[in-house]
């Protein structure tokens, strides 16, 4: 039976400062680095041998990935990076403090922008340019709903992760809160109404065991 472990990166500087980030490339805090080491030690106790690891183009996830691979002594496995695993793009909210946004628009509107599946945040007026995406012909979004993030994520799951699981190969994903919520919604068939209540904490690995058809047999938070 194939196993999938997913985890959100350790605490980033933006998490610490309570700032919207999205595709902005921020580093881990010391706490975040420690969270990654702890997660790696927890995963190591399971003795799962992974065949691949998948992460985003953002260094907070990449650094977390490398720390975890060190801790589980599996640095040799193929490491696949994709922009499709990037955090949801928060558009015009990027760089803003969440508490200050709450003061400006109210708690209800802030929650809708943060947690709704379909609502798009205020969009940027100008598209960013970045060579890491230009080389793949990817246009950086002006902003995304969680649904839009899911729509770019699922093709990667279908093409690169699910086939490996179907071949009995264990997979590790180290990504971001919103994109992992989008994946969990897909895997567990969670409704649009219930997905706002799903949380993915920093540095807490989640294990899924599947049958040969990728039906979930078991899910647990690894501790």
Output phi, psi for 51, to 5 deg. Answer: -100, -25
Contact 1, 211 (CB under 8 A): yes
Contact 171, 52 (CB under 8 A): yes
21 labelled binding-site residue: yes
37 labelled binding-site residue: no
90 labelled binding-site residue: yes
221 labelled binding-site residue: no
114 labelled binding-site residue: yes
188 labelled binding-site residue: no
Residues labelled as active-site residues: 9, 87
193 labelled binding-site residue: no
Query: Exposed, middle or buried, 213 (CB in 10 Å: 0-12/13-18/19+)?
Result: exposed
Contact 21, 12 (CB under 8 A): yes
156 labelled binding-site residue: no
Q: Which residues contact 101 (CB under 8 A, 6 or more apart)?
A: 20, 93, 110, 113
Annotated binding site for substrate: 8-15, 21-22, 60, 87-90, 98, 114-115
């Amino acid at each position: 039976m194939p196993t999938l472990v997913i985890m959100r990166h350790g605490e980033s500087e933006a998490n610490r400062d309570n700032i919207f980030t999205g595709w902005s490339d921020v580093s881990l805090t010391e706490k975040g680095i420690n969270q990654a080491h702890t997660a790696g030690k927890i995963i190591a106790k399971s003795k799962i041998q992974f065949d691949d690891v998948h992460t985003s183009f953002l260094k907070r996830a990449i650094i977390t990935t490398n720390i975890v691979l060190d801790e589980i002594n599996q640095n040799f496995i193929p490491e696949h990076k994709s922009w499709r695993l990037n955090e949801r793009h928060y558009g015009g909210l990027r760089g803003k403090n969440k508490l200050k946004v709450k003061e400006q628009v109210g708690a209800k509107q802030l929650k809708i922008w943060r947690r709704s599946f379909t609502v798009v945040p205020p969009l940027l007026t100008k598209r960013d340019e970045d060579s890491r995406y230009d080389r793949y012909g990817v246009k950086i979004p002006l902003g995304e709903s969680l649904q839009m993030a899911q729509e770019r994520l699922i093709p990667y799951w279908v093409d690169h992760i699910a086939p490996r699981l179907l071949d009995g190969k264990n997979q590790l994903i180290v990504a971001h809160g919103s994109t992992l919520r989008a994946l969990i919604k897909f895997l567990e068939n969670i409704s649009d109404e219930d997905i706002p209540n799903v949380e993915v904490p920093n540095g807490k690995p989640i294990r899924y065991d599947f049958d040969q058809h990728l039906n979930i047999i078991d899910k647990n938070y690894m501790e």
